[in-house]
């Protein structure tokens, strides 16, 4: 069978291409079973005609779309465009999994995969290849010709991550992906997160299937994949994209020892303030880690507790950043503005906390409500979000769809644009001003225009 995967990445801030771990693995699974796969990666620019031409040329039996909620509108349009051709259309990923209404709402879509897709997709392709009925496959919801939906039982989480093949990076033209991101490769050693932040899709994904959600690959398996990537592509550093890299400190210690011995490239991780201590940071540093990123999200303890379900104290956050710095690591903080119930005063607490942390770099996002999360439901219930929000034509990664009486859209955008400037202006005016340009209305077009200076500016502003 011929399967064309479809991944849209429109309106990306910063302009780096990305590898999709889910599609990489699904492609390997299908190729190992003797099927032919390809990828339509719609990067940055909305180009449905280019997509249609690729489909025509590739001649797939199946179009297999992945989508998170920020991309779902684009995905739906592509699916609708392919309606009526003799191609089976299936979608998976966070949006279809957490908002299964996507199947009913999207004309031309035949099936969705809810949760992990290795087995359900392979079972479906095998059945189609044998011209057998695929409507009873666990993990899939199927739409019949009359529009009725058949919801099959859930599949189990894959128990043994080592049993999953390494992802098909070649399908992504991986050298180009790496080159767009400072010659940095991304890898994941785990799946799942034990925490339950109210704005995040990860805990919601964890509730979809039976079995253990937080799983690790073995150290040997992770190292083997990194070796393979490093031998095939020109790579200067590694970014571990795991939700929380330091959940299991014993694993981190073992992994770091093996990594130092066998790989040795500089690397970066993301973690959570409660899950790492000085010793863990030291292990990371000794193995070649250059920077650790941690979520602050809001500097208001009250908002974190009541609205975000993040129970750590400001003291703990300050301690974690200090420990990382003491271990010799650079730090980066992740922040969000425009949460439901947030006020401008609470956002100012985020500025003040970041001033105290003084991270080497920071990122600020505008809150976006994702279906399946507690804050999505709250946003609808409180009337902050219109119930037909999902039908809107476009959602930007740099705008808010919320309409809140105590924190207006105009204020949220103002806070977003000036956040980094306000954090750094007391310590380094130069850094503060560069951030100011980067987060301004003109930052993105300007950086794209000034391609030559793009990387140094981006490196400072985004801390990449």
Residues in contact with ligand SF4 by CB under 6 A are 193, 195-197, 200, 202-203, 243-244, 272, 295
From the list ligand SF4, ligand B12, none, partner contacted by residue 203 (C-beta under 5 to 8 A by kind): ligand SF4
Query: Parallel, antiparallel, or unpaired for β 36-44 and 2-10?
Result: parallel
Query: Parallel, antiparallel, or unpaired for β 140-143 and 149-151?
Result: antiparallel
How far apart are CB 176 and ligand SF4 at their closest, in Å? 28
Residue 350 within binding range of ligand B12, rule CB under 6 A? no
Q: 99: number of CA atoms within 13 Å, CB side? A: 22
In the three-class reduction of DSSP (H, G, I as helix; E, B as strand; rest coil), residue 3 is classed as strand
Crossing angle (nearest 10°) for helices 314-326 and 278-287: 30
Residue 170 phi/psi, 5° resolution? -60, -35
| Assigned token pair, 182 | 């400072």
Crossing angle (nearest 10°) for helices 344-357 and 314-326: 30
Binding part of the chain for ligand B12, among 114-122, 250-258, 409-417, 453-461 by CB under 6 A, reads 114-122
Kindly tell me which of 90 and 336 has the beta carbon lying closer to ligand SF4: 336
Contact code string over 374-403 relative to ligand B12, x by CB under 6 A: -----------------------x------
Of 68, 168, 297, 323, the one binding ligand B12 by CB under 6 A: 68
Cα gap 71→50, rounded to integer Å: 17
Contact code string over 145-164 relative to ligand B12, x by CB under 6 A: --------------------
Contact code string over 24-53 relative to ligand B12, x by CB under 6 A: -xx---------------------------
Residue 259 within binding range of ligand B12, rule CB under 6 A? no
Residue 63 phi/psi, 5° resolution? -105, 120
Query: CB of 338 within 8 A of CB of 308?
Result: no
| Assigned token pair, 277 | 């201590």
From the list ligand SF4, ligand B12, none, partner contacted by residue 274 (C-beta under 5 to 8 A by kind): none
Residue 269 within binding range of ligand B12, rule CB under 6 A? no
Whether the CA torsion 285, 213, 201, 162 is positive or negative: it is positive
Interaction residues for ligand B12, span 189-248 (CB under 6 A):
191, 200-202, 205, 241, 243
From the list ligand SF4, ligand B12, none, partner contacted by residue 184 (C-beta under 5 to 8 A by kind): none
Residue 274 within binding range of ligand B12, rule CB under 6 A? no
- CA 205, distance to chain mean position in Å, is 13
How far apart are CB 298 and ligand B12 at their closest, in Å? 14
List the one residue out of 306, 443, 435, 457 whose CA is nearest residue 13: 443
From the list ligand B12, ligand SF4, none, partner contacted by residue 463 (C-beta under 5 to 8 A by kind): none
Residue 11, C-beta contacts closer than 8 angstroms, at least 6 positions apart: 44, 70, 396, 397, 398
Of 27, 28, 37, 70, the one binding ligand B12 by CB under 6 A: 70
Query: CB of 29 within 8 A of CB of 165?
Result: yes
| Assigned token pair, 383 | 């009337």
| Assigned token pair, 245 | 């890299």
Helices (H), 137-240: 174-179, 201-206, 219-232
How far apart are CB 17 and ligand B12 at their closest, in Å? 9
Contact code string over 78-107 relative to ligand B12, x by CB under 6 A: ------------xxxxxx-xx---------
Kindly tell me which of 36 and 241 has the beta carbon lying closer to ligand SF4: 241
Helices (H), 33-67: 48-58
How far apart are CB 26 and ligand B12 at their closest, in Å? 6
Of 60, 117, 299, 443, the one binding ligand B12 by CB under 6 A: 117
Indicate the DSSP class of residue 308.
Answer: I
Kindly tell me which of 28 and 280 has the beta carbon lying closer to ligand SF4: 280
How far apart are CB 282 and ligand B12 at their closest, in Å? 25
From the list ligand B12, ligand SF4, none, partner contacted by residue 209 (C-beta under 5 to 8 A by kind): none
List the one residue out of 162, 234, 171, 184 whose CA is nearest residue 27: 171
Query: Which residues contact ligand B12 by CB under 6 A?
Result: 9, 18, 20-22, 25-26, 64-66, 68-71, 90-95, 97-98, 113, 116-118, 121, 188, 191, 200-202, 205, 241, 243, 365, 370, 397
């Amino acid at each position: 069978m011929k399967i064309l995967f479809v991944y849209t990445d429109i309106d990306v801030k910063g302009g780096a291409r990305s590898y999709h771990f889910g599609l990489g693995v699904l492609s390997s699974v299908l190729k190992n079973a003797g099927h032919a796969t390809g990828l339509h990666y719609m990067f940055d620019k909305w180009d449905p005609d280019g997509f249609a031409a690729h489909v025509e040329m590739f001649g797939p039996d199946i179009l297999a779309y992945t989508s998170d909620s920020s991309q779902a509108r684009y995905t739906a349009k592509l699916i609708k465009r392919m309606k009526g051709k003799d191609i089976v259309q299936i979608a998976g990923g966070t949006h279809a999994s957490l908002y299964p209404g996507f199947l009913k709402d999207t004309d031309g879509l035949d099936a969705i995969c809810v949760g992990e897709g290795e087995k359900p997709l392979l079972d479906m392709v095998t059945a189609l290849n044998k011209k057998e009925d695929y409507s009873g496959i666990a993990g899939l919801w199927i739409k019949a010709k009359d529009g009725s939906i058949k919801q099959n039982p859930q599949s189990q989480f894959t128990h043994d991550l080592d049993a999953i093949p390494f992802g098909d990076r070649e399908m992504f033209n991986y050298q180009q992906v790496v080159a767009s991101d400072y010659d940095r490769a991304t890898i994941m050693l785990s799946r799942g997160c034990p925490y339950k932040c109210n704005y995040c899709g990860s805990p919601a994904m964890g509730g979809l299937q039976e079995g253990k959600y937080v799983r690790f690959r073995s150290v040997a398996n992770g190292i083997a994949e990194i070796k393979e990537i490093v031998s095939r592509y020109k790579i200067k550093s590694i970014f571990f994209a795991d939700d929380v890299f330091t959940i299991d400190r014993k694993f981190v210690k073992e992994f770091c020892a093996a990594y130092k011995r066998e790989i040795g490239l500089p690397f970066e991780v993301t973690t959570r303030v409660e899950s790492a201590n000085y010793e863990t940071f030291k292990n990371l540093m000794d193995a070649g880690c250059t920077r650790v990123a941690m979520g602050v999200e809001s500097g208001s303890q009250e908002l974190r507790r009541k609205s975000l379900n993040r129970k750590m104290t400001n003291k703990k956050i300050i301690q974690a950043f200090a420990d990382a710095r003491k271990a010799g690591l650079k730090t980066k903080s992740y922040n969000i503005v425009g949460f439901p119930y947030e006020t401008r005063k609470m956002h100012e607490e985020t500025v003040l906390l970041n001033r105290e942390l003084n991270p080497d770099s920071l990122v600020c996002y505008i809150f976006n409500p994702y279906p399946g999360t507690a804050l999505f439901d709250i946003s609808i219930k409180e009337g902050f979000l219109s119930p037909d929000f999902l039908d809107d034509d476009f959602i930007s990664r740099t705008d808010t769809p919320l309409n809140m009486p105590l924190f207006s859209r105009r204020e949220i955008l103002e806070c977003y644009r000036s956040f980094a400037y306000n954090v750094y202006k007391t310590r380094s005016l130069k850094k503060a001003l560069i951030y100011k340009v980067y987060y301004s209305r003109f930052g993105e077009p300007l950086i794209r225009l000034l391609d030559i200076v793009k990387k140094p500016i981006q490196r400072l502003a985004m801390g990449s």
